[in-house]
């Protein structure tokens, strides 16, 4: 059974770059048909998809965040990562990594989430 | 439009049937997925491809879809099903869209 674990700084200042890594165990990130996503949830609010990276390195980002988002994979470490530039307080959220086994992306496996707070 | 609309809240008594709707113009062409999220926990997929139930999800969870509305039905709701429920779909570009979420209260 695949397990996902987010890691990264929990506190950032406005204008900095958010960097998170998702470590995957029980499965390989470089297998076909798996789409590796980031989803975030501001405190007390709903879910927002950020984007996904495929094992080929291709990506698909939420249009509302596309200008600030970069996702990549490190197959040697069985990890994938998220970078979000120029953060503001509105980026304060719990960030989840998640896996889809379908090109019609849906999330059957999730990490436990990592709270990132942006201070102004 | 790729937006998904859910009622903010639904309330039922234990043992009753809860129905949570999700409306969107793209739903006739795209599958709907449903997640349950309890406080402090990651979401859990409870319905995929409109009507399918993942292994390990109780049979009381079912899904349906007709036209622009998808529905999550929970039959005989126990107190432990009190949670937030989110619908999810994709648009024509493959981008993922979530509904705003519905808080299910089991009184």
Report which DSSP code applies to A15: T
CB pairs under 8 A between A and B: 54
Report which DSSP code applies to A34: -
3-state secondary structure of A4: strand
Q: How many Cα atoms sit within 13 Å of A68 on the Cβ side?
A: 14
* Beta-carbon count within 10 A of A85 CB: 13
Cβ of B42 and A48 within 8 Å? no
**Token pair 């960030």 is at which residue?**
A95
Q: For A63, name the nearest residue in chain B, comparing CA atoms only.
A: B95
Residues of B near A (Cβ–Cβ under 8 Å) read 30-31, 33, 35, 37, 42-45, 48, 54, 86, 88, 90, 93-101
Taking Cα atoms as reference points, which of A14, A42, A44 lies closest to residue B103? A44
What is the tens place of the pLDDT at every residue in B26-79?
A: 999 999 999 999 999 999 999 999 999 999 999 999 999 999 999 999 999 999
What is the tens place of the pLDDT at every residue in B67-107?
A: 999 999 999 999 999 999 999 999 888 899 999 999 999 99
Residues B9, B102 contacting (CB under 8 angstroms): yes
Interatomic CA distance for residues B107 and B99, integer angstroms = 24
Cβ of A107 and B35 within 8 Å? yes
Q: Which residues of chain A have pLDDT under 70?
A: none
Out of A46, A62, A106, whose CB is closest to B45?
Answer: A106
3-state secondary structure of A10: coil
Mean pLDDT of B11-28: 96
Give the DSSP letter string of B32-47.
-EEEEE-TTS--EEEE
Out of A60, A105, A110, whose CB is closest to B43?
Answer: A110
Give the DSSP letter string of B16-85.
S-EEEEEE-TTTTTS--EEEEE-TTS--EEEEBTTTB--TTS-TTEEEEEETTEEEEEESS--GGG-EEE
Shortest Cα–Cα distance, B49 to chain A (Å) = 9
Terminal CA-CA length for chain B: 35
Out of A62, A96, A106, whose CB is closest to B33?
Answer: A106
**Token pair 């409870």 is at which residue?**
B46
Residue B1 confidence (pLDDT) = 54
Mean pLDDT of B5-15: 98
Give the DSSP letter string of A43-99.
TTS--EEEEEEETTS-EEE-TTTGGGEEEEEETTTTEEEEEE-S--GGG-EEEEEEE
Residue A102 confidence (pLDDT) = 86
B94 contacts in chain A (CB < 8 Å): 60, 103-105
């Amino acid at each position: 059974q695949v397990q996902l674990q987010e890691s990264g700084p929990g506190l950032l200042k406005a204008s900095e770059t958010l960097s998170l890594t998702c470590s995957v165990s029980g499965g390989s990130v470089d297998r076909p048909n798996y789409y590796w996503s980031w989803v975030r949830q501001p405190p007390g609010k709903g879910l927002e998809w950020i984007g996904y990276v495929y094992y080929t390195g291709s990506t698909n980002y939420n249009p509302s965040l596309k200008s600030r988002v970069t996702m990549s994979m490190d197959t040697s470490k069985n990890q994938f990562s998220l970078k979000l530039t120029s953060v503001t307080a509105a980026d304060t959220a719990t960030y989840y990594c998640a896996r889809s086994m379908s090109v019609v992306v849906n999330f059957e496996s999730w990490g436990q989430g990592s709270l990132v707070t942006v201070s102004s | 439009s790729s937006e998904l609309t859910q009622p903010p809240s639904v309330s039922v008594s234990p043992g009753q049937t809860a129905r949570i709707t999700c409306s969107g113009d793209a739903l006739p062409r795209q599958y709907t997925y449903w997640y349950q999220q309890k406080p402090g926990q990651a979401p859990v997929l409870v319905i995929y491809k409109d009507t399918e139930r993942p292994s390990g999800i109780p049979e009381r969870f079912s899904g349906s879809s007709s036209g622009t509305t998808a529905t999550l039905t929970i039959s005989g709701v126990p107190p432990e099903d009190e949670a937030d429920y989110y619908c999810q779909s994709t648009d024509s570009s493959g981008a993922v869209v979530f509904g705003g979420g519905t808080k299910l209260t089991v009184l």
